[in-house]
A and B are shown apart, each in its own frame.
Chain A
């Protein structure tokens, strides 16, 4: 089955730790995205990548980092510089970055800071 997988489903982080969220897709999509969802708020864009070895900051990139070494993988690292990381993180992809393309989402990772 084609789709987007995210792991782990739940993640707990201690203060001062960096953690990495995994996102993998087998849809052969060029573009990938990371969003953050907080209760009572809409999803907000953290980073996006239009193609391998290229990525751009979204609206709330501070305290996060990404890499795009392979087409199918777009991991997100939440660093200790992110002051309020507890949230639901969603990865998405689209065929490419053209304006008409539908975005598809993974099942999400819930991150909690202890």
Chain B
């Protein structure tokens, strides 16, 4: 069974800092990995998707990397802003149809 773990569970940083969120998974036979953002009481917004054959994806201040062999992914956020405060979820695609989610990292960026 695929287990997805996100560390840390919560993180507080001052505005302007660069930060890294970590995601690990137990079964390296994944098809892709998605990073999502969730604001309180809201749905999920897809941030980045990395195919299993890719090593990283970038979108604006976000960069996600994937190391399948070690079962790890990181989400790098550059020059953090208060508007980045949210919960960040990592999910891996298994069996071609459904995502396995981690419990998320709750990020607070203080002015």
Write the residues of chain A forming the contact surface with B, with a CB cutoff of 8 angstroms: 4, 6, 31, 33, 35, 40-45, 48, 50, 56, 58-59, 90, 92, 97-100, 102-108, 110
Q: For residue B111, which residues in chain A have a CB less than 8 angstroms away from its CB?
A: none
Contacting chain A: which of B12-20, B66-74, B90-98? B90-98
Number of A-B contacts (CB under 8 A): 61
Contact B34 A102 (CB under 8 A): yes
Min CB distance, B2 to chain A, in Å?
Answer: 11
Contact A98 B43 (CB under 8 A): no
Cβ 8 A contact of A99, one of B32, B41, B103, B104: B32
Q: For residue B43, which residues in chain A have a CB less than 8 angstroms away from its CB?
A: 4, 6, 90, 105-108
Given A100-B51, A107-B42, the answer on whether A41 and B103 have CB atoms closer than 8 Å is: yes
Number of interface residues of B (CB under 8 A): 26
In the bound complex, CA of A44 to CA of B89 (Å): 13
- Within 8 Å of chain A (Cβ to Cβ): is B26? no
Contact A48 B98 (CB under 8 A): yes
Contact A103 B99 (CB under 8 A): yes
Min CB distance, B104 to chain A, in Å?
Answer: 7
In the bound complex, CA of A31 to CA of B99 (Å): 13
Contact B46 A105 (CB under 8 A): yes
Contact A43 B46 (CB under 8 A): no
In the bound complex, CA of A43 to CA of B104 (Å): 10
Q: List 13 A-B contacts (CB under 8 A).
A: A6-B43, A33-B98, A35-B101, A40-B103, A42-B101, A42-B102, A56-B97, A99-B93, A106-B43, A107-B42, A107-B43, A108-B41, A108-B42
